Structure 1
Amino acid sequence: MTDEIAPPAVPISRTTRRRVVSYVITLGLLQTLSTFTIDIYLPAFPQIASGFGVSAPSIQFTFTGAMIGMVAGQIIAGPISDGIGRKLPMLIATCVHVAASLLCAMAPSVPALIAGRMVQGAASAATGALALAMVRDLYRGLAMMRMLASMALISGLAIAIGPLLGSTLLSITDWRGVFGALAGYGLVLGLGVLLVVGETLPRHRRQTGGLRIRARAFRTMIIDQQYLGYVLVSAFAWMGMYSYLAASSFLFQRVYRLTEQQYGLAFGSHALAMFAGTQSAARLAHRITPRRLIMVSTTGLALAATALMVVGISGSRSLLVILVPLWAFTFFIGINTPCAQTLALARQGHAAGSAASFLNASRQALGALATPITGLIGVTSAIPVAAVMLVGQLLAVLVLWLVARPQRDVSIEPA
Structure 2
Amino acid sequence: MPLEGAERRLTGGILFLLAGLSALGALATNIILPAFPRIGASLGVSSRELGLTLSSFFVAFAFGQLLAGPLSDVFGRKWLVLGGLAVFAAGGLLCALADTLSFLVLGRVIQALGACTASVLSRAIARDLFDGEPLARALALTMIAGAAAPGFSPLLGSALDGLLGWRFSFLVVAAFGIVLALHYLVRVDETHPTNRRAAPAALDVASAYGRLATDPRFLLPAASVSLIIGGLYTVFATAPAILMIELGLTAFQLGSSFATTVLVVFAAGFLAPRLAQRFGQRTVGLIGLLFALAGGLSMFVFAARPTFMSFTAAVTLYLLGMGLINPLGTAIALHPFGRQAGLASALLGFLQMGCAALGASFASALPLEPSASLAVILSGHSMLALLVFLPVALRRSK
- TM-score if structure 2 supplies the norm length? 0.95
Structure 1's 409 and 55: CA in aligned 2 closer, same or farther, altered over 3 A?
Answer: farther
Gaps of 5+ in 2: none
Q: Indicate the residue corresponding to 2:107 in structure 1.
A: 116
Asked if 1 retains the 8 angstrom alpha-carbon contact of 2:209 and 2:347, the reply is no
- Does residue 410 (structure 1) correspond to residue 397 (structure 2)? The answer is yes
Question: Which structure 1 residue ranges, 4+ long, deviate > 4 Å from structure 2?
Answer: none
Asked if 2 retains the 8 angstrom alpha-carbon contact of 1:160 and 1:272, the reply is no
Shift of 1:214: 3.6
Alignment of 1:17-166 (within 5 A): 20-166=11-157
Asked if 2 retains the 8 angstrom alpha-carbon contact of 1:251 and 1:379, the reply is no
Q: In the TM superposition, what whole-angstrom CA distance separates every residue of 1:363-407 from its partner, at most 9, and x where no partner exists?
A: 101111221222234674511111111111111122122xx4332
- Does residue 400 (structure 1) correspond to residue 389 (structure 2)? The answer is yes
What is the rounded CA distance, in whole Å, between the counterparts of 2:111 and 2:334 in structure 1? 26
Q: Indicate the residue corresponding to 1:334 in structure 2.
A: 323
What is the rounded CA distance, in whole Å, between the counterparts of 1:320 and 1:5 in structure 2? 47
Instruction: Decide which of 278, 281, 301 is 2:272's aligned counterpart.
Output: 281
Q: Indicate the residue corresponding to 2:200 in structure 1.
A: 209
Q: Indicate the residue corresponding to 1:225 in structure 2.
A: 216
User: Any idea what SS the aligned residue of 1:200 has?
Assistant: coil
Q: In the TM superposition, what whole-angstrom CA distance separates every residue of 1:6-49 from its partner, at most 9, and x where no partner exists?
A: 135x5x4xx4xxx7222112222222222211211111111111
Asked if 2 retains the 8 angstrom alpha-carbon contact of 1:226 and 1:409, the reply is no
Shift of 1:271: 2.9
What is the rounded CA distance, in whole Å, between the counterparts of 1:381 and 1:96 in structure 2? 33
Instruction: Decide which of 5, 26, 36 is 1:7's aligned counterpart.
Output: 5
Residue type at the aligned position of 1:376: A
Shift of 1:66: 0.9
Q: Indicate the residue corresponding to 1:388 in structure 2.
A: 377
Q: Indicate the residue corresponding to 1:309 in structure 2.
A: 300
What is the rounded CA distance, in whole Å, between the counterparts of 2:202 and 2:119 in structure 1? 23
Corresponding pairs, count: 398
Q: Indicate the residue corresponding to 1:357 in structure 2.
A: 346
Shift of 1:409: 5.0
- TM-score if structure 1 supplies the norm length? 0.92
Asked if 2 retains the 8 angstrom alpha-carbon contact of 1:6 and 1:198, the reply is no
Asked if 2 retains the 8 angstrom alpha-carbon contact of 1:281 and 1:335, the reply is yes
Shift of 1:211: 6.7
Q: In the TM superposition, what whole-angstrom CA distance separates every residue of 1:147-205 from its partner, at most 9, and x where no partner exists?
A: 11122232011122011111111121111111111111111111112211221111111
Q: In the TM superposition, what whole-angstrom CA distance separates every residue of 1:104-124 from its partner, at most 9, and x where no partner exists?
A: 111121111111111101211
Asked if 1 retains the 8 angstrom alpha-carbon contact of 2:59 and 2:354, the reply is yes
Asked if 2 retains the 8 angstrom alpha-carbon contact of 1:217 and 1:351, the reply is no
Structure 1's 409 and 171: CA in aligned 2 closer, same or farther, altered over 3 A?
Answer: farther
Asked if 2 retains the 8 angstrom alpha-carbon contact of 1:243 and 1:370, the reply is yes
Asked if 2 retains the 8 angstrom alpha-carbon contact of 1:269 and 1:327, the reply is no
Deviates more, 1:148-157 or 1:287-296: 148-157
Shift of 1:280: 1.1
Instruction: Decide which of 184, 198, 208 is 2:189's aligned counterpart.
Output: 198
Residue type at the aligned position of 1:68: V
Deviates more, 1:211-220 or 1:181-190: 211-220
What is the rounded CA distance, in whole Å, between the counterparts of 2:341 and 2:112 in structure 1? 21
Structure 1's 78 and 381: CA in aligned 2 closer, same or farther, altered over 3 A?
Answer: closer
- Does residue 366 (structure 1) correspond to residue 364 (structure 2)? The answer is no
Of all paired residues, the percent bearing the same amino acid is: 27
Deviates more, 1:58-67 or 1:214-223: 214-223
User: Any idea what SS the aligned residue of 1:354 has?
Assistant: helix
Residue type at the aligned position of 1:208: A
What is the rounded CA distance, in whole Å, between the counterparts of 1:43 and 1:377 in structure 2? 23
- Does residue 295 (structure 1) correspond to residue 286 (structure 2)? The answer is yes
Structure 1's 59 and 139: CA in aligned 2 closer, same or farther, altered over 3 A?
Answer: same
Instruction: Decide which of 156, 159, 179 is 1:188's aligned counterpart.
Output: 179
What is the rounded CA distance, in whole Å, between the counterparts of 1:22 and 1:5 in structure 2? 12
Shift of 1:207: 0.4
